[in-house]
A and B are shown apart, each in its own frame.
Chain A
Amino acid sequence: MNSLILKTASRYLAAILLVFSIHMLLRGHNEPGGGFIGGLIGATGFVLFAIAGSVAEARKALRIEPQNLAMIGLGASAVAGLSALFANKAPFSGLWLFLFAEEGSKGLPLSSILLFDIGVYLVVMGAILTLVFAIEEEV
């Protein structure tokens, strides 16, 4: 497609979509959202880029092959499951670290669940982009 308006707008839209996708990923632990939906929204950003410009541009913007992205995501999730080994718990048990926790405040909660969710985010994003890029290049 060759539309100047879409091309110009997509630069900003893609950035907003990516930020929004991370917002969705992070709020997913206690509210609607999460890795899956975040990954879908993030993928939309690059898909928009590919439609407005070209797949080659989108690939360049992604910097990493989408297949590899998905596999790295799978790795992150698997490592999150494995991390329980070091705490002597069952696989995929949640491990928590409350940074700067004080009386009455949990501080910054970090967990193996977050790593798992980031893995899901990358798997979804990588898988969707693999499919869309392949189809776009075919057409």
Chain B
Amino acid sequence: MIWTLSAPLLLPFFTAIIAFLTRRSVAGKWVSLSGAVLHLGAALVLVSAVLDQGVIAGSFGGWDAPFGIALAADYLGAAMVVITGIIGVAVALYSFADISKSTEALGFHALFHLLLAGVTGAFLTADLFNLYVWFEVMLISSFGLLVIGGSKQEIDGAVKYVTLNLISTVMFLTGVGLLYGMTGTLNMADLHFAVQEVENKGLLSVVAIMFMVAFGVKAAVFPLFFWLPASYHTPSFSVSAVFAGLLTKVGVYALIRAFTLIFTHDPELIETVLLWVAVLTMVTGVLGAAAQSDFRRILSFHIISQIGYMVLGLALMTPLGLIGAVFYLLHHIIVKANLFLISGVANRIAGGTELARIGGLYTHAPLLAVLFLIPAFSLAGFPPLSGFWAKFIVIRASLELEMWIVAGAALFVGLLTVFSMTKIWAEAFWTPHPDALAPKLSRLSTHDWRAMMWPIIALAVMTVIIGLFPGVFYPFVETAADQLLNPTAYLDAVLGPDAVAAAQSAVGQAVIVEGN
């Protein structure tokens, strides 16, 4: 079992090593692509094992939980790894056309696969300190990817990115230290029980808020999102697609994991804070987007507003709310990465991403226009695309709790999303090109067309499939949400049923003693 779990984790490391040693030859990018395909394959094996046996867990070095480093995959974790694999393959192929030889020679593919390893590790680990390590792996490799082009703008973006993320890292590490001091364990399943025995609940809430801030910076929620729009529009399009698709979602995933599994002692406080954070994130993100006039900057601000919906699903803490959050998470990765890939094609054939300087894409590149409409409308929540179902579930969940204002805000933000998507549509696609250029797709060479368009087409098809057949995915997401709210299966898999039973009776006794 442990090998099924660690294969998607170890593969990117080997790919990174081989891709680095072959970075100056043509073989480098092929190593990268085949490594990404293998990673996706390993992820599919993992998800089929999870579908077969439920939650699976294991630990490195034969040191059993809670002492060793445990890995675990429930439905959510396994699904996230598969999506990571899909984005990995799409971007590895896209980078054939997008990444220059000199950037490759600096080790682009190696950094890219180290990033995939970090993301996969964060989704699979069942240990808080190990999660911190994967966050560091992601931070280091993403910093490398941000500065690899070496332009002034890129370095400026990277410095902002790293500074703010370092603050989050310090906060995370401090929280980990305090939590370890209070409970003596960092295994997430073990913590589920250990925190219930902590007497000083006030201190526990402080630590919970520290984790919320740390993960909130990663997820780019209000008011901690400043780094995102400052850096996401600067690197190459491949890089910003991976960042937009995956990195913030790791933060959301960590929030979901921490507040369903570990910090369940004071649901009222956590839910209230998260609810306000979610609403403000949605609104500020979409207002920020409305004020922008650059293709990628608009998309960057949209990430923030969409993160709000996911956090909202978590904050509701009902089965339907979590179903919405998980569905949103999965759908959004595909859609957002695709939009960034499309902006890269627009940049290539129309000569920029500044909306005032491009145009005419609808007349000259109708295929690209259709491919843009699918993820853009999905993001805005048009039926029957994937985003409609994601928004529908989240809003329905908030209506069930009679949170009219929250539901109203979510609908209003959806409307504003349409507004800024139509801005891109009108300026980049409908209006003629200001320099009377004809941005045809045939401006790409055959090689570049294949490398850039196939990933976009594949991701768009996935969006349509999720939208047309949500019934196929719904039971899966339902189980994922159920496993989050009732983590018995996760605890059993990580700690073993006997240890869980012993811990449960210990906690029960502690409660009785307190009662006396």
Which residues in A have some Cβ–Cβ distance to B below 8 Å?
67-68, 71-72, 74-75, 78, 81-82, 85, 89-94
Question: Shortest Cβ distance from B165 into chain A, in angstroms?
Answer: 20
Inter-chain CA distance A94–B61, complex, in Å, is 7
- Chain A residue at smallest Cβ distance from B7: A91
- Chain B residue at smallest Cβ distance from A68: B21
Verify A78–B61 contact, CB threshold 8 A: no
Verify B62–A85 contact, CB threshold 8 A: no
Query: When the two chains form the complex, which single residue of B3, B14, B61 contacts A75, counting CB atoms closer than 8 Å?
Result: B14
Inter-chain CA distance A72–B21, complex, in Å, is 8
Verify B10–A91 contact, CB threshold 8 A: yes
Query: When the two chains form the complex, which single residue of B2, B14, B20, B60 contacts A68, counting CB atoms closer than 8 Å?
Result: B20
Inter-chain CA distance A75–B21, complex, in Å, is 11
A67-B20, A67-B107, A68-B20 known; A91-B14 Cβ under 8 A: no
- Chain B residue at smallest Cβ distance from A113: B61
Question: Shortest Cβ distance from A89 into chain B, in angstroms?
Answer: 6
Query: When the two chains form the complex, which single residue of A67, A72, A75, A91 contacts B6, counting CB atoms closer than 8 Å?
Result: A91
Verify B10–A82 contact, CB threshold 8 A: yes
Verify A74–B60 contact, CB threshold 8 A: no
Question: Which residues in B have their C-beta under 8 angstroms from that of A90?
Answer: 2-3, 58-62
Question: Which residues in A have their C-beta under 8 angstroms from that of B17?
Answer: 71-72, 74-75, 78
Verify A91–B60 contact, CB threshold 8 A: yes
Verify A81–B10 contact, CB threshold 8 A: yes
A91-B10, A92-B61 known; A85-B20 Cβ under 8 A: no
Question: Which residues in B have their C-beta under 8 angstroms from that of A82?
Answer: 10
Verify A71–B110 contact, CB threshold 8 A: yes
Question: Shortest Cβ distance from A95 into chain B, in angstroms?
Answer: 11
Inter-chain CA distance A53–B212, complex, in Å, is 51
Inter-chain CA distance A68–B61, complex, in Å, is 27
Inter-chain CA distance A68–B13, complex, in Å, is 14
Interface string of B1-35 (1 = CB under 8 A from A): 01100100010011011001100000000000000
- Chain B residue at smallest Cβ distance from A75: B17
Verify B14–A78 contact, CB threshold 8 A: yes
Query: When the two chains form the complex, which single residue of A67, A78, A85, A92 contacts B13, counting CB atoms closer than 8 Å?
Result: A78
Verify B3–A91 contact, CB threshold 8 A: yes
Inter-chain CA distance A74–B60, complex, in Å, is 17
Inter-chain CA distance A82–B60, complex, in Å, is 11
Question: Which residues in B have their C-beta under 8 angstroms from that of A67?
Answer: 20, 107
Of B17, B58, B60, the most chain A CB neighbours within 10 A belong to B17
Question: Which residues in B have their C-beta under 8 angstroms from that of A91?
Answer: 2-3, 6, 10, 60-61
Query: When the two chains form the complex, which single residue of B6, B20, B58, B61 contacts A71, counting CB atoms closer than 8 Å?
Result: B20
Question: Shortest Cβ distance from B193 into chain A, in angstroms?
Answer: 24
Which are the 8 A-B pairs with shortest beta-carbon distances? A75-B17, A92-B61, A90-B62, A71-B20, A92-B60, A90-B2, A93-B62, A91-B6
Question: Shortest Cβ distance from B49 into chain A, in angstroms?
Answer: 16
Question: Which residues in A have their C-beta under 8 angstroms from that of B61?
Answer: 90-94
A68-B20, A90-B59 known; A85-B3 Cβ under 8 A: yes
A67-B20, A71-B110, A91-B2 known; A78-B10 Cβ under 8 A: yes
Verify B21–A71 contact, CB threshold 8 A: yes
Inter-chain CA distance A78–B6, complex, in Å, is 12
